[in-house]
Structure 1
Amino acid sequence: MDREQALAVVRESLTRAVPGADSRGLAEDAVLRDELELDSLDFLNFVETLSGETGVTIDEEDYERLDTLGACAEFVAARSGSAS
């Protein structure tokens, strides 16, 4: 999966996991928890959805790396074997 594909999956996963989250206008460097007002449960739902959609294992120690859309896309692309 390349970075653009990963970004699309990240956006879709956010929308599916967090009711009311709209990532369409969200900048890639915006901090997800702040911009979308995600609480811990919302973030966990997002991580589980993203993992399920991509097949990428996301361990708890990886959570801090998933702070922005761009960081999530890079993480997924790298872990799926196609970093850009």
Structure 2
Amino acid sequence: MNAAQARALAADVLAGIAPEADLAAIGADEDLRGALDLDSMDFLNFVIGISERSGIAIPEADAPRLCSLRGLEAYLREASGRAGQTG
């Protein structure tokens, strides 16, 4: 998954949680929770939505890695690469 796909996925998931969210106004390293005024339940729903829509299992311990757009993009890129590997 590339950066544009990750941002589109994030925007889609956030539309159901924080419809007023404007990802274009958020810096790549800015904390999404603070920038979008997401409480812990909103953020949990965001992580669950990303997991469900991407088909990538996201362990609770990895949730903090999705706190910024750059972190989300990197995580999804890594996880997509692992999922695409055959053993």
TM-score over 0.5 for the pair: yes
Select the structure of larger CA radius of gyration: 2
Which 4+ runs in 1 deviate beyond 3 A? none
RMSD over aligned CA atoms reads 1.7
Q: How does 1:1-84 map to 2 (within 5 A)?
A: 1-81=1-81
| TM-score when normalising by structure 2 | 0.80
How high is the sequence identity, in percent, across the aligned residues?
A: 38
For structure 1, the 5+ residue unaligned runs are none
Higher relative contact order (CA 8 A, sep 6+): 1
Q: How many residues align?
A: 82
More helix by share: 2
What is the distance in 1 between the residues matched to 2:6 and 2:51?
A: 11
| TM-score when normalising by structure 1 | 0.83
